[in-house]
């Protein structure tokens, strides 16, 4: 797959990077990426993936744009209120980069349809706002052997990790699954929703941009010397204190996907 002269000019500042180059840009053009959720996390992630030249982007979202979304879901404008988020996102990406093909999936991802959805893509981003969807996506990516970039937002904080549990670590042990990190979902009502607790819009921009960065890293095969992805590491961001911390986590032999009772 080759780049047109227009694409070479469009991505020139990216192609010149030693960690990307022409081969990396071609890999981006050939890549198929699925983004679950076109909201606070998905909006900035989608913009930077499209800007980077990811060739095909799938968007899964069954919601419509609400006025209360707009302070953080910057992919959508005021004139999109009441429209399906997939339709609004498709138009916005088309304005940003006409070289990107968008596959809009205006339905809710769940345990029944997740595997069929993720199997069509090379990398999956989960920007959903509930644990049922997160477990469905992460389980599907495990079984379909797809890298998963997953993030979550709080009031003034966020977290991010990358999952490749179908591969081994350099020491021969398995990479952890999402269920190694979060074995069980919290009890209903114990974690307030975004509507109840609130969220600062710019935090979605920070975390969604980092999701796009980790996705690009995965597609191009790393950025060269000193490169280290978030596989097996959880990035925790406290933007009230402006503190970034990284916690390493490992495979749990009791996890129900790749644990000892399964293997």
- For residue 171, the model assigns a pLDDT of 86
Over residues 27-43, mean pLDDT? 97
Contact by Cβ (8 Å): 41, 214: no
Q: Is 159 part of a structural domain of the chain? A: yes
Residue 141 catalytic? no
Over residues 88-113, mean pLDDT? 97
Q: How confident is the model at residue 172 (pLDDT cuts 50, 70, 90)?
A: confident
- Looking at the structure of the chain, the number of domains it has is 1
Paired residues of 236 in beta bridges: 159, 245
Q: How confident is the model at residue 190 (pLDDT cuts 50, 70, 90)?
A: low
Q: Is 56 part of a structural domain of the chain? A: yes
Structural domain for 105, as ranges: 31-248
Over residues 43-67, mean pLDDT? 97
Pairing of strands 32-36, 123-126: parallel
Q: Is 179 part of a structural domain of the chain? A: yes
pLDDT of 184 higher than 90: no
pLDDT-above-90 percentage for the chain: 88
Q: Is 124 part of a structural domain of the chain? A: yes
Burial degree of 236 (CB within 10 A; 0-12, 13-18, 19+): middle
Q: How confident is the model at residue 173 (pLDDT cuts 50, 70, 90)?
A: confident
Please indicate whether residue 52 or residue 185 has the higher confidence score (pLDDT): 52
Q: Is 6 part of a structural domain of the chain? A: no
Q: How confident is the model at residue 170 (pLDDT cuts 50, 70, 90)?
A: confident
Q: Is 22 part of a structural domain of the chain? A: no
- Total-model pTM: 0.95
CATH code for position 125: 3.40.50.720
The mean predicted confidence, pLDDT, of the chain is 94
- For residue 199, the model assigns a pLDDT of 87
- For residue 198, the model assigns a pLDDT of 82
- For residue 53, the model assigns a pLDDT of 98
- For residue 263, the model assigns a pLDDT of 59
Q: What is the DSSP string of the chain?
A: ----HHHHHHTHHHHTSTTTHHHHHHHHHH-EEEEE-SSTTHHHHHHHHHHHT-SEEEEE---B--GGGTTT-TTS-GGGTTSBHHHHHHHHHHHH-TT-EEEEE-S---TTTHHHHHTT-SEEEE--SSHHHHHHHHHHHHHHT--EEEEEE-SSEEEEEEE-TTSB-TTSPBPPPHHHH-SSPPPTTSS--HHHH---HHHHHHHHHHHHHHHHHHHHT--STT---SBTEEEEEETTTTEEEEEE----TT-TTTSTTT-
Q: Is 17 part of a structural domain of the chain? A: no
Q: Is 219 part of a structural domain of the chain? A: yes
**pLDDT tens digits for 200-258?**
999 999 999 999 999 999 999 999 999 999 999 999 999 999 999 999 999 999 999 99
Q: Which of 96, 106, 194, 236 is catalytic?
A: 194
């Amino acid at each position: 797959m080759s780049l047109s002269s227009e694409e070479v000019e469009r991505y020139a500042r990216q192609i010149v990077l030693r960690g990307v180059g022409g081969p990396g840009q071609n890999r981006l053009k050939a890549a198929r990426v699925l983004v679950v959720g076109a909201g606070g996390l998905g909006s900035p992630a989608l913009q930077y993936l499209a800007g980077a030249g990811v060739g095909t982007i799938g968007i899964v979202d069954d919601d419509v744009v609400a006025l209360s979304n707009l302070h953080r879901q910057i992919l959508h404008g005021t004139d999109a209120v009441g429209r399906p988020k997939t339709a609004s996102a498709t138009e916005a990406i088309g304005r940003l980069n006409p070289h990107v093909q968008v596959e809009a999936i205006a339905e809710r991802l769940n345990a029944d349809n997740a595997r069929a959805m993720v199997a069509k893509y090379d990398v999956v981003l989960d920007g959903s706002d509930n644990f049922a969807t997160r477990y469905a996506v992460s389980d599907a990516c495990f079984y379909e052997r797809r890298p998963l970039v997953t993030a979550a937002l709080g009031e003034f904080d966020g977290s991010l990790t990358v999952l490749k549990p179908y591969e081994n670590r350099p020491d021969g042990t398995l990479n952890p699954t999402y269920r190694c990190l979060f074995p069980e979902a919290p009890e209903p009502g114990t974690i307030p929703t975004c509507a109840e607790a609130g969220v600062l819009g710019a935090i979605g921009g920070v975390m969604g941009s980092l999701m796009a960065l980790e996705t690009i890293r995965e597609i191009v095969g790393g950025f060269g010397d000193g490169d280290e992805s978030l596989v097996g590491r959880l990035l925790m961001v406290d933007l009230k204190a402006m503190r970034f911390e990284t916690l390493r986590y490992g495979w749990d032999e009791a996890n129900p996907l790749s644990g000892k009772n399964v293997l």
